[in-house]
């Protein structure tokens, strides 16, 4: 083949490389004769066929897309659980650097119990709530479109977390006392402390939610009390965050409340007996948590940390 040019196919451009001949009926012309081929006949048939194939392909893609969407919707609850489990594991790993994995796991579990108190009460109020999401060194959070239709519902949602969280810490304390486990007693102590801290009367903490039904003016008292804590206590970045977000929410809600609209008046209208009931639960929790901390307090000598308990 040296010196020879390759043979080039002489087939007309636009025709298939291999095709089957399909006889085309002749069409009579105006003068009675018949044309050898039907003008536009084959292209029209091919165009329809291509359009049909295209529409069929689009329909198939749409069906697959709908199936993917349906699968994603069915997977959402599992994804929420994966988010909760994933952030919990990250938090356990972070806390383990300081406390050891056993104490860290127990601490995250107590946070979960506390947050589930909010979730359960929100669902009782007819409000959808997310599963808890853990944030290392900041705690945990849930998300919902609202906290209830009125201040009393907001207070119920706010206090439900410390109520269930206190019960969880009490169970740990009882088991620790029965088994003589310093680890469990220390864990219960921290659980009582976290729930007590959340009862401070400032937004967005649970105590601030309770004040919405009891005495909204207490928001300013709680906010003022947080200012020295933010600068005097270690780990003050948490207090600074509370001051930042809480101050903004307090100011916004106070302005809305002072607008004296019918909607605002209806939101903060709480019957005296309900206000007393919220106050009794609030004060009762503070007393119970303080007693729990006193009973589970463990002196840790220098060099003796949770990691060695």
How many other C-beta atoms lie within 10 A of the C-beta of residue 208? 27
Q: Containing H/E element for 140? A: strand 139-141
pLDDT beneath 50: ranges in the chain: 1-41, 44, 65-66, 68-79, 300-309
pTM as predicted: 0.69
Beta bridge partners of 141: 133
Q: Say if strands 139-141 and 133-135 run parallel, antiparallel, or are unpaired.
A: antiparallel
Provide the domain count of the chain: 1
- What are the angstrom distances between the C-alpha of 191 and each of 104, 173, 180, 187? 12, 9, 18, 6
Sequence-distant (6+) residues with CB within 8 A of 35 are 26, 27, 28, 29
Q: Containing H/E element for 135? A: strand 133-135
Rounded distance, CA 36 to CA 38, Å?
7
Whether 12 is covered by a domain: the verdict is no
3-state secondary structure of 133: strand
Whether 133 is covered by a domain: the verdict is yes
Whether 18 is covered by a domain: the verdict is no
> What pLDDT, on a 0 to 100 scale, did the predictor assign at position 294?
92
- What are the angstrom distances between the C-alpha of 29 and each of 32, 33, 36, 218? 5, 5, 10, 98
How many other C-beta atoms lie within 10 A of the C-beta of residue 33? 9
Whether 238 is covered by a domain: the verdict is yes
The pair phi, psi for residue 129, each rounded to 5°, is -135, 150
CA angle 230, 254, 196 (to 5 degrees): 40
Q: Dihedral (C-alpha) 4, 7, 8, 12: value to the nearest 10 degrees?
A: 140
Helix 151-179 with 206-214: angle, nearest 10 deg: 140
Whether 29 is covered by a domain: the verdict is no
Whether 246 is covered by a domain: the verdict is yes
Rounded distance, CA 187 to CA 173, Å?
8
Evaluate whether 158 touches 210 at the Cβ level (below 8 Å). yes
Sequence-distant (6+) residues with CB within 8 A of 249 are 203, 204
Residue 191's domain comprises 63-308
Whether 116 is covered by a domain: the verdict is yes
Whether 35 is covered by a domain: the verdict is no
């Amino acid at each position: 083949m040296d010196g020879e040019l390759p043979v080039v196919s002489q087939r007309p451009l636009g025709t298939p490389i291999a095709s089957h001949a399909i006889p085309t009926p002749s069409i009579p012309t105006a003068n009675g004769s018949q044309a050898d081929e039907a003008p536009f006949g084959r292209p029209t048939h091919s165009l329809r066929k291509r359009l049909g194939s295209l529409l069929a392909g689009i329909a198939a893609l749409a069906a697959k897309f709908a199936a993917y969407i349906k699968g994603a919707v069915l997977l959402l609850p599992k994804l929420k659980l994966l988010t909760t489990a994933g952030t919990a594991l990250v938090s356990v790993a972070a806390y383990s650097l300081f406390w050891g994995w056993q104490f860290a796991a127990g601490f995250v579990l107590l946070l979960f119990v506390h947050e589930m108190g909010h979730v359960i009460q929100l669902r009782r109020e007819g409000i959808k709530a997310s599963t808890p999401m853990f944030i290392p060194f900041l705690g945990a959070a849930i998300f919902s479109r609202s906290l209830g239709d009125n201040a009393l519902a907001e207070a119920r949602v706010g206090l439900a977390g410390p109520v269930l969280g206190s019960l969880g810490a009490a169970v740990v304390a009882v088991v620790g006392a029965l088994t003589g486990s310093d680890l469990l007693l220390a864990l219960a102590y921290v659980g009582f402390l976290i729930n007590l801290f959340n009862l401070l009367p400032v937004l967005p903490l649970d105590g601030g939610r309770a004040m919405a039904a009891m005495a909204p003016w207490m928001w300013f008292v709680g906010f003022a009390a947080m200012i020295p804590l933010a600068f005097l206590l270690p780990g003050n970045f948490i207090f600074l965050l509370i001051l930042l977000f809480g101050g903004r929410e307090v100011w916004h809600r106070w302005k809305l409340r002072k607008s004296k609209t019918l909607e605002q008046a209806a939101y903060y209208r709480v019957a005296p007996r309900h206000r007393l009931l919220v106050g009794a639960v609030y004060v009762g929790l503070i007393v119970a948590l303080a007693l729990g901390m006193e009973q589970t307090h463990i002196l840790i000598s220098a060099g003796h940390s949770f990691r060695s308990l």
